[in-house]
Amino acid sequence: MGLKSLSLVLAALTLTILTSCVKAYTESVGGEPAQVFSRTYLTDFNTAWQSILEALKNSQIDIANQEGGYVQTKWTENTAEKNFTDSFNGTDAYLKAQYRFRVSVSKGIYRGRNTVKIRVQKEQLIQKDVLEGWKPIESDTIDEATLLYRIGRVIYIKMKIARLEDRKAKKEIESVHF
């Protein structure tokens, strides 16, 4: 193996060690998980905001700041669901499990049209026994993708209804003038 190949292997090994150390440090200090899912929609901010609230209607809202474009749900207990889904992976059962969503929305412009970028993050905490306390775990990404899908469908329906109402209003105006 040449000096150049050895240098590349050493660089890759160093990078791997450093990233795992950073991840371990972030987890030990309770850092934010890096899993944030986002999607951009061709709609206005108000339609997106109402769609987010409608998609989260089955969750209790803790913070809803429209001007800041931020929604956070209250912690929701999901011990039974987490134990059921994780039982297929061969993991131990959890004493308690809870999660919450953080959703942020920001305005933008794409080719002269209003857009919004919606970011979804799910925080999942588990407790395996009474002495351990709450521990954050990574999400399986299904709930984030589902929430973004729901928001997208609500936006689509709201925009479709608005277009139909515009057509109806134009037809009524035309029928009055002629």
* Residue 126: predicted pLDDT: 87
- Phi-psi domain of 168 (left: phi exceeds 0; alpha: psi -120 through 50; beta: other): alpha
pLDDT tens-digit readout, 29-42: 455 545 789 999 99
Q: What is the pLDDT of residue 149?
A: 96
From the DSSP assignment, how many helices (H) and strands (E) are in the chain? 4, 7
State the CATH number of the domain containing residue 140: 3.30.530
**Total domains in the fold of the chain:** 2
- Domain check: are 18 and 59 in the same one? no
Q: How far apart are CA 84 and CA 67, in angstroms?
A: 39
**Same domain as 123, residue 60:** yes
- Scan for tokens 């030990």, then name that residue: 28
Residue 92: closest CA among 141, 142, 130, 129: 129
**Domain co-membership, 167 together with 105:** yes
Is the same domain home to 87 and 18? no
Confidence of residue 43 (pLDDT cuts 50, 70, 90): very high
Mean pLDDT for 115-144 is: 89
| pTM for this entry | 0.72
Task: State which residues form the domain around 108.
Answer: 33-177
Interval 147-171: pLDDT, tens: 999 999 999 999 999 999 999 999 8
Q: Are residues 108 and 67 in the same domain?
A: yes
